[in-house]
Amino acid sequence: MSQQPTLPGPQDITRSQLPNGITLLHRANFNSPSVILRGYFNAGSIFDSDEKLGLADFAAACLMRGTQNYSFELLYENLENIGASLGFSAGTMSASFSGRALVEDLSLLLQLLAESLRRPTFPADEVEKRRAQLLTGLAIRSQDTSDMASLAFDRIIFRDHPYQRPEDGHPETIQAITRDDLARFHSRQYGPQGMVIVIVGAVQAAEAREHVEKFLGDWENPHQQATPSLPPVELLESITREVIHIPGKPQADLLIGATGPSRRDPLYTAASLGNSVLGQFGMMGRIGDVVREQSGLAYYASSSLSAGNGPGSWEVSAGVNVEQVEKATDLILREIGRFASGGVTPEELQDSQDNFVGRLPLSLESNSGVANALLNIERFGLGLDYYLTYETRVRSVTTEQVLLAAQTYLQPDRLAIVSAGSL
């Protein structure tokens, strides 16, 4: 009964490149009078020195705080007056942006995107305001059991690797960054080479491209540096534990896991299906069943796999009363052991395969769902037909491949175990 094919593919994704290096992906959706704009570019925290960690993130956060043609207030007047939004942030490998507007305002949204990317002036007073906000954010982070467990977990599993560092830095590194550091970072790192822009919504491909060309087509930066490639990471030698003391927090966050496959690893899909059985499917998979349903220890207990172009991470997390951390740890370790030694049953695999295939229409119904899909296609080189061939790829995974993925990454004697709370 529905009127359009649901899965994006070469038949309705338009991918093109501007002469200056910007890649544009587009897919039309005329069901709602809105449009979404997302993308990324090579200005991540991988370029930050240890002393000024957080520079890339600070720079991204200041792009809209004053430009050659707009004050902070004027820029946001333009944006908010039309009910549009736009924001920037930085990760390790890239910085990214996300915006949306009613389709009648796409041109203005792209104009503001280009202005923020190309002509930020980093006004000293606005930089200081932003600094105070970032420092407050870090003070709040230091009280957040989940964030603090996560920081320690990354420090342990990604030791000696760029991923061990938090993109948002530390209070002392944010304090060390000057206004000139921000301007210098912008002039070296910001440019069209490697930039990807995705537009999804009630606009035709040709019109979307015209808008992008108009505002970003003549952008060049001969000084722009390429993002270095990432080294691999070895698993830990042995179980490594860390306890973070945060007074006054009755609930502890517990993280147990290791490095995982990259998004381009041949084992990625098998690991992803295995992860579903371990801690996602139904009510948080086997982990949810043991920790929440059978033992009543936690409101949330699940596993997750995060994978990018570099090494990924594969972790089980749970929020438990500080008195129950040991018990929950034992239960989770037992499940990881069972998973790593026995893998999954054919029925369990089938369930998760059905889930992966069945949930596609739901994950791709909105403009933002499609935009994320297009970003993944480009970022990980998945191919425009990725979603059309997805079912075959998912269904071809065997229980042996899941077991191999589990044994490769979740080795019970090489895990990081981190807890944070009033411990």
Choose among 29, 18, 227: nearest CA to 114: 18
Beta carbon of residue 143, minimum distance to other proteins (angstroms, whole number): 4
Cβ distance to other proteins smaller for residue 81 or 187: 81
- Closest approach of Cβ 99 to other proteins, in Å? 9
Q: Which is nearer to other proteins, 265 or 289 (CB)?
A: 289
Whether 311 and 163 have beta carbons less than 8 Å apart is answered as yes
CB-count burial class (<10 Å; 0-12, 13-18, 19+) for 153: buried
Question: In 286-405, which ranges are E strands?
Answer: 298-306, 312-321
| Nearest distance from C-beta of residue 328 to other proteins, angstroms | 10
How far apart are the C-alpha atoms of 344 and 338, rounded to whole Å? 9
Q: How far is the CB of 387 from other proteins (least distance, A)?
A: 14
Contact (CB, 8 A) for 297 and 331 = yes
d(CA 101, CA 116): 17
| Nearest distance from C-beta of residue 140 to other proteins, angstroms | 6
- Shortest distance in whole angstroms from residue 364 CB to other proteins: 8
Tokens of 220: 């060049």
Contact 224, 43 (CB under 8 A): no
Task: Closer to other proteins by CB, 213 or 289: give it.
Answer: 289
What is the smallest separation between the CB atom of 105 and other proteins, expressed in angstroms?
9
Q: Which among 163, 179, 169 is positioned nearest to 311, based on CA atoms?
A: 163
Q: How far is the CB of 224 from other proteins (least distance, A)?
A: 29
Instruction: Extract the tokens encoding 138.
Output: 């870090």
CB atoms within 10 A of CB 365: 13
Smaller CB distance to other proteins: residue 202 or 239? 202
User: What is the closest distance, in whole angstroms, from the C-beta atom of residue 285 to other proteins in the complex?
Assistant: 10
**What is the residue whose two structure tokens read 């049953």?**
345
Nearer to other proteins, 144 or 265 (CB): 144
Cβ proximity to other proteins, 364 vs 404, nearer residue: 364
By beta-carbon proximity to other proteins, the closer residue of 16 and 71 is 71
How far is the C-alpha of 363 from the C-alpha of 358, rounded, in Å? 10
In angstroms, the first-to-last Cα distance of the chain is 56
- List of residues 6+ apart from 305 with CB closer than 8 A: 260, 261, 271, 272, 275, 312, 313, 314
Tokens 């945060």 belong to 246
Between 46 and 112, name the residue whose CB sits nearer to other proteins. 112
Contact 322, 298 (CB under 8 A): no
CA-to-CA dists, residue 165 to 153, 169, 322, 343, 380, angstroms: 11, 7, 27, 32, 22
By C-beta, is 258 or 325 nearer to other proteins?
325
- Report the distance separating Cα 85 and Cα 392, nearest Å: 38
